[in-house]
Chains A and B, each alone.
Chain A
């Protein structure tokens, strides 16, 4: 009895004290490694928005993309959400995100003189977007298939105009236009692509469709297409007034699709000509994947210009495309001849639209070995006469391939240790 009393009176308090000391000590041991905000561990003009294998997205900076290695752990910021879309202009990088059920928090960054990044502020994106671009000094986004406040119609296309200020990103305004009446076909319109004409107007591809895809409850905003053999492009002013509609029957509509995402297939060459591509995504069209042209100030498609790209690819269609320089574009081409909404595009080509020349990019891993870009990442960048193409190959870290636009030859550049996929790539400059 005495012994147990001793146990309780002497040992128990000591044991409790000891265990609480261990307890508190273990709390102290792992204190603030990070403060959660941007920690500048790397600098440089190249901005990389990357996704880790875990799905978490980070921002990295690099001095050069030509060679060497960069570890994901040197990232400067962890993003709280995923599937960000980044766009760049001079010293500004803007990241936008919209998730399945709710708004996203967007980020603006400015590239400072000391080569570090400064946060311009965060902004709330409450309007989903499937289409975006710079227009009239602002960032413009749009989304189709919106339901009116009273629930009576669902052909709304909502545009959001964003101001990029010296210390913040602010929403200028949102505006919804009702699209069923635009062409008089009784169908809704999804806008795809924003080409700033520099005169207060922009060109955008229009996809006319019914509201739903047959056999589904409610499909993506592009439903069944009644006129798959025609293309429409609208010229719209800053008040979203439709100034002119271009139409042609030589190609199908000008937009790519992946899930509910819409890919821009329209781009402006340095000489002001606008090239309108069609990936012929809709399998009911009889038109091949090809491109037309709208010359500056023209009111109709250039009837003398037609570039059948499907002939050049051997039957493959275009998934996404990006303007490089002059009238050169980089094309992302589907892996298969027969495509569905989820077929990946892991073949790449460089076209000169003016010359109608086509060249496969060589020196890349085989199409069946590439994993990047299957969703919406893997966006390349043209900088200083070279194309920088992010590629993740099976069994390897993500890498950037450097492509000579003249020869279309690619060589492997920087490797990004621990990166699953480069989502977007940008070069920031101080001018």
Chain B
């Protein structure tokens, strides 16, 4: 019985056929899909059907090491061109004649060479590229990873976080500059942070560190408290996610790639800024000649977060809330976190390219200043968290047989979270308080939760010849959560609160990629999702509650296509499609085991994602360089899992709701030599409710409404200028500027007559960096939110005003040639 619904322009996606037993079978015979693939093939083949007799091929090398993937190779002022594949090899054909062969790649100087093509000849020409010399890049090798992601068939962006080394940004703020990504913060340093990616958020976006999910790491090790220096680059996959990332994400994935180079380096920095904010960071790496490698990352963030907020004020004598707003300094919002990551192992051994054992310890302390409405203020509530994560990584290229690459990772996280509310006081925004007879500013609690998560990821790739790439990926995760002590008087807890919840998932991905010798590649992939969830269920039929542990399983099969075509001289076209799933969680399947019913027959949420991108990169006469990327996407989400009240009177999770999202991102960047760069990105999202009926079957008043509480128009712009030879030959001075914009959006649905909204935000940041001796010593000063704008990402929760900081950084890097 086909479940295909013909109501969107997402008809391009392969359909699932579901038989009565609920087993899903691939429906590959779908006519629309084959039609589309056929069209793509026709299109691609017509693009190079006018072959001439002369064939030119070769390899593009870097002068420093290895091959250069995705380099653009073309004959100047002609339509002839190609792109190097993952082996650095290019092929193209052209009519006989005299040409200039141009080879360019991001991070390298463009090479040109005059060639003469004679009829019927086959020319083999290898080209070496020199890394482009910028003052910082002399010591940091520009990652081939960046261009690999940006040039892949996926709607993906990679950010080179090494360039952010002199800023005080954390990973979340680094991500905030990517098109289509919006970070929403509840306050200052360490506050709750949410990532919106093309309209998806929360559990619909999966975050990975080096390909291993970050879920379960605890609040002390999150994007909002990890310094950008920890990462080499951040990869953002919008919509379609490669099989290497075994996650049940509907809306995309973010992968943080840490420094994996086997080099010797020291990166030490300290910054001090407004609101008594101290951040320090130490990264050390050493690799011996015999392959022994050690890497240590340690960092610390501390802030009083005592920025001023404009809010209404409660008179503690009368509990009456003022009508007018006043400015108050935050007085109970101190945050600090500390983390140490140690990795030991060997590299470049016959049995392992890389074998690393690591451990990550992190902890945090967060005072809680206000509730989800800023008017409600606290003076004693706080939260602590502590996490320990041992990990293992093994990588080997040509494992046993040639062209078989293996990558295995495993980690285990043990996280303890503690929420404390025991103060017998009632505070006002002035910091004054009134003594109370009873404990707790809210409901008195000392609640403690333990979460244990285990992950194992295996990734195997096999290549046949230079054209066929196979990959299989398996991700297993096992998450257990237990409330260990609710202490005090947590009113709504019950026996179920103390029973364990286990969520076991296995996601297997399979992909086949064909990399043409010409300018295109295409990939087909499938992912099988399976989860086994165990939790408490109230089985009482009368009187007091009685609990029993039960197990439920769900599975789903997702699939997709990704293809790209490189036109000559820098234009690239990408198309990717996927049907993807998000499996129900233990809470959704079991409720809270108490007052909320679970629904054993919940289907996974599903989304059909389509992405189309055009990107253009052009470098002219070594002075001007320009890149432009425009992407359009569609998301059709079905079977949203929502909480509703059923006829039995109990809250329950049901599959309900369809949402259609159409959007686009535009990014443009311009470079003038190495001195000047300016860029801007703009994102627009139109995400609408396409469900005509409410969960109880009444006609919906929100049909075709914009999904509320979601930023839908936003953008960034930046510019930087570098002066060279400032007070010394190897010293530079860089001035930088950033602009951020988010349009106003409502908190609830327009059709309901929503009135509360999150106002438009605009903010400006500026920075100045002085680098001495090619970036070995750096001093940077930053001003954030220069205009002191009142900024909100969430209703009522004001973010910090203007702040200043200064950062000192020492950076030493020694490249190894082994």
Seen from chain A, the residues whose Cβ lies within 8 Å of a Cβ on chain B are: 1, 4-5, 7-8, 12, 15-16, 19-20, 22-23, 26-27, 30-32, 34, 36-37, 39, 41, 52-54, 56, 58, 71-75, 77-78, 80-81, 99-105, 121-126, 128, 145-149, 151, 154, 156, 158, 168-171, 174-176, 213-221, 259-260, 282-284, 335, 338-344, 346, 368-371, 374-375, 392, 394-397, 417-418, 420
- Given A123-B321, A219-B494, A342-B595, check contact A72 B753 (CB 8 Å): yes
Nearest chain B CB to A190's CB is how many angstroms away?
Answer: 12
* Contacting pair B647 A371 (CB below 8 A): yes
**A26 and B696 within 8 A (CB):** no
User: A123 vs B649: C-alpha distance in the bound complex, in angstroms?
Assistant: 31
Instruction: A148 to B702: give the CA distance in the assembly, Å.
Output: 47
Interface residues on B, range: 35 or more
Q: State the CA gap A128–B700 with chains docked (Å).
A: 34
| Least Cβ–Cβ distance between A176 and chain B, in angstroms | 4
Tell me whether A344 and B648 are in contact (CB under 8 A): yes
Using Cβ atoms and an 8 Å threshold, which residues of chain B touch A145? Answer: 489, 491
- Give 14 A-B contacts (CB < 8 Å), ordered by A residue: A19-B668, A36-B757, A53-B700, A53-B702, A124-B320, A124-B321, A126-B441, A170-B318, A171-B318, A215-B544, A260-B492, A343-B649, A375-B649, A418-B701
Q: Bound complex: CA of A148 vs CA of B424, how far in Å?
A: 8
- Residues of chain B from 796 to 812 with CB closer than 8 A to chain A in the complex: 796
Tell me whether B495 and A215 are in contact (CB under 8 A): yes
Residue-wise interface mask of B (717-745) relative to A, using a CB-CB cutoff of 8 A (1 in contact, 0 not)? 00000000000000000000000010110
Chain A CB within 10 Å, residue with most, of B422, B649, B695: B649
Chain A residues whose C-beta falls within 8 Å of the C-beta of B701 in the assembled complex:
52, 71-73, 417-418
Contacts of B491 in A (CB 8 A): 128, 145, 218, 220-221, 260
Q: Closest Cβ of chain A: how far from B407's Cβ, in Å?
A: 41
B752 touches A52 (CB 8 A): yes
Flag if A216 contacts B494 (CB, 8 Å). Answer: yes
Q: Is B123 an interface position by the 8 A CB rule?
A: no
Query: How far apart are the CA atoms of A340 and B744 in the complex, in Å?
Result: 45
Select one of B371, B698, B713 contacting A26, CB under 8 A: B713
Q: How far is the CB of B103 from chain A (nearest CB, A)?
A: 17
Which residues in A have their C-beta under 8 angstroms from that of B646?
371
Within residues 752 to 808 of chain B, which ones have a CB less than 8 A from any CB in chain A? 752-757, 760, 795-796
Q: Which residue of A lies closest to B693 (CB)?
A: A395
Q: Which chain B positions have C-beta within 8 A of A151?
A: 422, 439, 488
> Which residue in chain A gives the minimum CB-CB distance to B672?
A8
Q: Is B6 an interface residue (CB 8 A)?
A: no
Cβ contacts under 8 Å, B544 to chain A: 213-215, 283, 340
Q: Using CB atoms, name the residue of chain A closest to B424.
A: A149
Main secondary structure of the interface of A (DSSP, over half): loop
From A23, A156, A340, A396, give the contact of B542 (CB < 8 A).
Answer: A340
**A20 to B698 Cα, complex, angstroms:** 43
Q: At the interface, yes or no: B373 with Cβ under 8 Å from chain A? A: yes
> Which residues of chain B are within 8 angstroms of A72 by Cβ–Cβ distance?
701, 751-753
How far is B598's CA from A180's CA once the two chains are assembled, in angstroms? 38
Q: Are A105 and B321 in contact (CB under 8 A)?
A: yes
Judge whether B620 is part of the interface by a CB distance below 8 angstroms: yes
Chain A residue nearest to B318 in the complex (CB) = A170
A53 B748 Cβ-Cβ under 8 A = no
Q: Give the CA-CA distance A83 to B289 in the complex, in Å.
A: 66
Contact between A259 and B595 (Cβ–Cβ < 8 Å)?
yes
Asked if B33 CB lies within 8 Å of chain A CBs, one says no
Whole-angstrom CA separation of A390 from B28 in the bound complex: 52
Which segment, of B17-25, B393-401, B430-438, faces chain A? B430-438
Instruction: Tell me, in angstroms, the Cα distance from A281 to B802 when the chains sit together.
Output: 57
CB-CB under 8 A for A342 and B649, given A26-B743, A34-B757: yes
Q: Which residue of B lies closest to A175 (CB)?
A: B437
Q: B756–A374 contact, CB under 8 A?
A: no
Task: Please judge, given known A-B contacts A81-B373, A105-B375, A420-B696, whether A16 and B668 are in contact too, CB under 8 Å.
Answer: yes
Asked if A340 and B668 sit within 8 Å, CB to CB, the answer is: no
- Quick check: is B245 within 8 A (CB to CB) of the other chain? no
Look across to chain B and name the residue whose beta carbon is closest to the beta carbon of A163. B318
Let me know if A73 and B751 touch, CB within 8 A: yes
The verdict on B444 contacting chain A, using a C-beta distance below 8 Å, is yes
Judge whether A126 and B754 touch: CB under 8 Å: no
Query: Given the interface contacts A26-B713, A30-B744, A213-B544, does A374 sit within 8 Å of B649 by beta carbon?
Result: yes
- Interface: B314 (CB within 8 A): yes
Given contacts A217-B497, A219-B494, A122 and B753 within 8 Å (CB-CB): no
Shortest beta-carbon distance from A365 to chain B in Å? 11
> Distance (Å) between the CB of B701 and the closest chain A CB?
3
Contact indicator B620/A5 (Cβ below 8 Å) = yes
- Nearest CB to that of A108 among chain B residues? B320
| Smallest CB separation, B657 vs chain A (Å) | 10
CA distance A4 to B708 in the complex (A): 44
Report A-chain residues with C-beta under 8 Å of the C-beta of B435: 149
Please pick, from A12, A20, A22, the residue contacting B670 in the complex, using a CB distance under 8 A: A12
Interface status of B680 (Cβ within 8 A of chain A): yes
Q: Which residues of B contact A80 (CB under 8 A)?
A: 373, 756, 795-796
- List chain A residues, Cβ under 8 A from B8: none
| Nearest A residue (CB) for B445 | A101
Q: Whole-angstrom distance from the CB of B114 to the nearest CB of chain A?
A: 15
Q: Contacts A8-B626, A12-B626, A392-B696 given: A259-B757 contact, CB under 8 Å? A: no
Is B286 positioned at the interface, with any CB of A under 8 Å from its CB? Answer: no
Among A8, A121, A168, A392, the one with the most B-chain Cβ atoms within 10 Å of its Cβ is A8
Contacts of B760 in A (CB 8 A): 27
Residue B97 lies at the interface, judged by CB distance under 8 Å to chain A: no
Bound complex: CA A343 to CA B541 (Å): 10
Contacts of A396 in B (CB 8 A): 697-698
Give bound CA distance, A154 to B670, whole Å.
66
Interface centre among B375, B647, B666, B741 (most CB of A within 10 A): B647
A148 CB → nearest B CB, Å: 6
Contact pick for A369, options B378, B595, B647, CB 8 Å:
B647
| B121 interfacial by beta-carbon distance below 8 Å | no
B715 within 8 Å of A (CB atoms): yes
A123 with B320, Cβ < 8 A, contacts A1-B621, A53-B700, A154-B489 known: yes
Complex interface bits, B670-703 against A, C-beta within 8 A gives 1, otherwise 0? 1000000000101010000000001111111110
> What does the 1/0 interface line of B360-386 toward A look like (CB < 8 Å)?
000000000001010110100000000
B438 near A338 with CB under 8 A, answer: no
A169–B375 Cα distance when bound, in Å, is 16
Is there contact, CB below 8 Å, between B494 and A147?
A: no
Tell me whether A102 and B697 are in contact (CB under 8 A).
no
Docked complex Cα distance between A26 and B698 (Å): 34
A102 touches B757 (CB 8 A): no
Taking the closest CB of chain A, its distance from the CB of B376, in whole angstroms, is 5
Closest to B596 in A: A342
A339 CB, min distance to chain B CBs, angstroms: 7
The answer to the question of B292 belonging to the interface, with a C-beta cut-off of 8 Å to chain A, is no
**Among candidates B373, B426, B542, B744, residue contacting A105 with C-beta atoms closer than 8 Å:** B373
Give complex CA distance A176, B702 in Å: 46
Contact B650 A342 (CB under 8 A): yes
A-side contacts of B621, CB under 8 Å: 1, 4-5
The reply to whether B595 and A217 contact each other, CB–CB distance below 8 Å, is: no
Q: Are A4 and B620 in contact (CB under 8 A)?
A: yes
Does B52 sit at the interface, judged by CB under 8 A? no
Determine whether B46 belongs to the interface, using a CB cutoff of 8 Å to chain A: no
Most A Cβ at <10 Å: residue of B315, B489, B494, B749: B489
Residue numbers in A under 8 Å from B668 (CB-CB): 15-16, 19
The interface residues of chain B lying within 8 Å CB-to-CB of A146 are 437-439, 444, 489
**B7 interfacial contact with A, CB 8 Å:** no
In chain B, positions 458-474 with a C-beta closer than 8 Å to chain A are none
Bound form: Cα–Cα A72–B750 in Å: 10
Partner of B441, one of A102, A169, A218: A102
Apart from A1-B621, A8-B670, A394-B696: 12 A-B pairs, beta carbons within 8 A = A1-B620, A54-B749, A58-B753, A77-B755, A78-B748, A78-B754, A124-B319, A146-B439, A151-B488, A282-B543, A375-B645, A418-B701
